Amino acid sequence: MTQKDVIDLYRELDNAGIKIWIDGGFCVDALLEKQLRPHNDLDIAIQWKDVSSLKEILSKQGYKQIKEDSQWNFVLGDEKGHEIDVHAFVYDQNGKVVDGIMYPTESLSGHGVIESQSVNCISPKDMVEFLAPWISKWPDKYLPAVSMLCEKFQIKLPKEYTEYKK
């Protein structure tokens, strides 16, 4: 998936009144405002109320569900090999996440840039916290991302980073 693919989808969903937050590798890129590595998929956070509309829009583009971990987390894919890993959550009347993928509510406050387009994404602090547990499993993927996010946003390096570097 390319940055252009991501922005085209982001704009289409925004025009349809569907708010998404970029998560995962493209979130790191958005926060850093540069692409660190190629990505096989796009991770998004979305309100549960918008999931059926998302599926309807994407089905018209040839996307089908190819994996399901739960009703809250599933993957849509098309024949070109594009994959969208969907993480759905529910807000209560006060804007707090109360069901589904239990994102810390404040994590849904990030803003980044992909291809000159401002996007909603996971906050830098929370992105570092989400990536830290995976450092020892995939260091080539996550060490640079965590390091650069911490440097840019003045975040203390997580213990997983410092323990791995020892």
Angle at 60 between CA 49 and CA 12, to 5 degrees: 60
Per CATH, which fold does 3-122 belong to?
A: Beta Polymerase; domain 2 (3.30.460)
The predicted pLDDT at position 45 comes to 98
List, for residues 47-68, the tens digit of each pLDDT value: 999 999 999 999 999 999 999 9
Q: Return the domain boundaries, the chain.
A: 3-122, 124-166
Distance separating alpha carbons of residues 113 and 13, to the nearest angstrom: 17
- Contact partners, residue 4, CB within 8 Å, separation at least 6: 115
Tens digits of pLDDT across the chain (166 residues): 999 999 999 999 999 999 999 999 999 999 999 999 999 999 999 999 999 999 999 999 999 999 999 999 999 999 999 999 999 999 999 999 999 999 999 999 999 999 999 999 999 999 999 999 999 999 999 999 999 999 999 999 999 998 888 6
